[in-house]
Amino acid sequence: MDAIAVEPGAGEPALFEVPVPEPGPGEALVRTLRVGVDGTDHEVIAGHHGDVPAGEDRLVLGHEAVGVVADANDTDLEEGTVVVPTVRRPPNGPTDHFERGQPDMAPDGEYVERGIVGAHGFMAEFFTSPAGFLVPIPEELAPAGFLIEPISITAKALEHARASRSAFDWRPESALVLGNGSLGLLTLSIVTERLEYDRAYCLGRRDRPDPTIDLIEGLGATYVDSRETPIPEIPAEYEPVDVVFETTGYAKHAFETIDALAPNGIGALLGVPDDWTFEIDGGRLHRELVLHNKALIGSVNSSREHFESAAETLAALPAWIADDLVTGVYGLDEFERAFVDDDTTIKTAVEFDRI
């Protein structure tokens, strides 16, 4: 079967012929439908994040998948069920975090991530997975089912952000998303369509006309150009915001978030930056956090429960959002187009098969 993989140093993905995998005990065989591409895939291809499986010389890409159970094997799944796989797996048998259903909270070394760190991904015509890591979804969600994994990332961040403000009567009114990539725009969609904030902002660095600005404004949010309004100036130009979701991977934004926040606000950091050394006004920022009850959290990955709530969120989002967000779905004969990352692309996917 065909698989899309990257060899370290190659700088671009390529098609490889690999054997169809055999499901082991407790595993199902899944026929892949579509697999999304995100910023992490580009970071993996560039060699800035992730790793090949131990002892291997390439990594099959893809962690945002949707497929159909082709062989249920000895599991309780039914053949023909549409499923979305979760990303993390225990490398050497179950550990506490996996047994608690919280692989997203596992420390380094206690997990591999399919398609990212130490385990092959889902960009192949078939993949196997333990049934417990396959989340059944309604068949009508299949075409956009590759959006469930990134939505689950926001679902987790939101849960942790809310939990960190749960000790008092918190009434957030405004939210700011930093970044107009696929994760940022999905997060903004959730903010405007599913949450009760009165006002939403989204930061980018693009000139009009631009499809992401159209989407931001179509969602009723305000586009903020970081070249004109640096993040620390957002409170004066617009308002101090109650919640910030950082999805740029631009390290200075993590600290600038503190200035954008209103008293009692929370910033959730999701981007994964490269190493970068720069100066910050440490004393003032520390004082801001303390004297105004502000908080910053980091959040990575997601659990099965977040996937389940993400499937509900996807089902509830107006269909035009996925239509505008997904700028291209490409078959194996033109898979390279799914990895083009320019100002005309927002979210892309590779299609391996149809239901």
Amino acid making up residue 312:
E
Q: Which of 3, 44, 123, 153 binds ligand NAP (CB under 6 A)?
A: 153
By C-beta, is 42 or 252 nearer to ligand BGC?
Answer: 42
Which residues are 47's β-sheet partners? Answer: none
Q: Is 301 in the site for Zn ion (CB under 5 A)?
A: no
Shortest distance, position 72 Cβ to Zn ion, whole Å: 27
Which residues are 203's β-sheet partners? Answer: 178, 224
Q: Which residues contact 71 (CB under 8 A, 6 or more apart)?
A: 23, 28, 29, 79
Shortest distance, position 282 Cβ to ligand BGC, whole Å: 27
Q: Is 40 in the site for Zn ion (CB under 5 A)?
A: yes
**Rounded (10°) angle between helices 304-316 and 182-194:** 70
Per-position x/- string for 158-197, each x denoting binding to ligand BGC as judged by CB under 6 A, each - no binding: ----------------------------------------
The first and second tokens of residue 193, run together, are 């369509």
**Rounded distance, CA 192 to CA 198, Å?**
9
Binders of ligand NAP among residues 28 to 47 (CB under 6 A) are: 38-40, 43
Binders of ligand NAP among residues 178 to 207 (CB under 6 A) are: 179-184, 203-206
247 binds, among ligand BGC, ligand NAP, Zn ion, none (CB under 5 to 8 A by kind): ligand NAP
Binders of ligand BGC among residues 100 to 129 (CB under 6 A) are: 113, 116
Q: Can you tell me whether residue 183 is helix, strand or coil? A: helix
Q: Are 175 and 195 in contact (CB under 8 A)?
A: yes
Please choose, out of 24-32, 74-82, 294-302, 312-320, the segment that lies near ligand NAP by the rule CB under 6 A.
Answer: 294-302
113 binds, among ligand BGC, Zn ion, ligand NAP, none (CB under 5 to 8 A by kind): ligand BGC
Q: Can you list the pairs that 38-42 forms with residues at least 24 positions away whose Cβ atoms lie under 8 Å? A: 38/64, 38/150, 38/181, 38/182, 38/183, 38/347, 39/181, 39/182, 39/183, 39/249, 40/116, 40/272, 41/115, 41/339, 42/339, 42/341
Q: Which of 86, 301, 303, 348 binds ligand NAP (CB under 6 A)?
A: 301
**Sites of contact with Zn ion (CB under 5 A):** 38, 40
**Sites of contact with ligand NAP (CB under 6 A):** 38-40, 43, 150, 153, 179-184, 203-206, 226, 247-250, 270-272, 299-301
